[in-house]
């Protein structure tokens, strides 16, 4: 998997300009320039590989999985309008990452683990007190037949995630027998 300078900066929690400096110094392993202008940076286990230096301060980034949660919200006002008025098909489910709205619809299918969060004392940034968090890929269905895919933010392969879940499910099944 390859990323650009902005995504690499987000993964390392540093600025895009700092990534460009590291590229100029040749410290990001496997990075290549394509079309004479755009950098492509390979990921190793979800992170760019950066070679160290002999002098100067130690780097502050950590080799960790950097994921952005997808949150699923329910639009209560639209639910009320759909119940009160006839022939209204307002979208009641929205998939978001941060404050960015990725897709809206009336049905959602989550392809992996998720959790339901209820926090009345600390609501979400939009004001919601109940939402669903997931790192897995989701499919959103709209009333007009449109289908939207909300991509996974897992930095490792989804097949690996399914293997982990299959093992956990198999363990649960064997324990309950």
**For 141-175, how does the pLDDT look when each residue is reduced to its tens digit (9 = 90+)?**
988 888 888 876 544 444 444 444 444 445 544 55
Number of domains making up the chain: 2
Sorting pLDDT into bands at 50, 70 and 90, what band is 127?
A: confident
Range of the domain at 34: 2-42
Task: Establish if 98 belongs to a structural domain.
Answer: yes
Task: Establish if 171 belongs to a structural domain.
Answer: no
Task: Establish if 140 belongs to a structural domain.
Answer: yes
Please say if the pLDDT value at position 43 is more than 70: yes
Q: Does 76 share its domain with 142?
A: yes
Task: Establish if 90 belongs to a structural domain.
Answer: yes
Q: Does 37 share its domain with 75?
A: no
pTM of the predicted structure, to 2 decimals: 0.49
Q: Does 18 share its domain with 74?
A: no
Please tell me what DSSP assigns to residue 143: T
Please say if the pLDDT value at position 132 is more than 50: yes
At 151 the pLDDT is: 77
Average pLDDT value for residue range 23-43: 88
Let me know: does 130 contact 118? Beta carbons within 8 Å: yes
Let me know: does 69 contact 135? Beta carbons within 8 Å: yes
On the 0-12 / 13-18 / 19+ scale of CB atoms within 10 A, 95 is buried
């Amino acid at each position: 998997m390859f990323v650009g300078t902005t995504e690499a900066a987000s993964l390392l929690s540093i600025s895009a300009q700092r990534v460009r400096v590291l590229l100029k110094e040749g410290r990001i392993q496997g990075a290549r320039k394509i079309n004479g202008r755009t950098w492509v940076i390979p990921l190793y286990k979800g992170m760019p590989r950066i070679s160290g230096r002999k002098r100067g301060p130690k780097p502050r980034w950590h080799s960790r999985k950097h994921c952005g949660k997808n949150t699923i919200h329910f639009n209560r006002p639209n639910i009320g309008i759909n119940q009160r008025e006839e022939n209204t098909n307002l979208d009641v489910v929205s998939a978001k990452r941060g404050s960015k709205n990725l897709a809206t619809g009336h049905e959602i299918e989550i392809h992996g683990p998720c959790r339901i969060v209820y926090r009345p004392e600390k609501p979400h940034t939009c004001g919601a007190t109940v939402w669903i968090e997931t790192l897995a890929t989701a499919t959103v269905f709209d009333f007009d037949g449109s289908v939207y895919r909300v991509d996974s933010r897992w930095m490792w392969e989804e097949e690996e995630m399914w293997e982990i879940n299959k093992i956990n499910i198999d363990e649960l099944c064997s324990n309950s027998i």
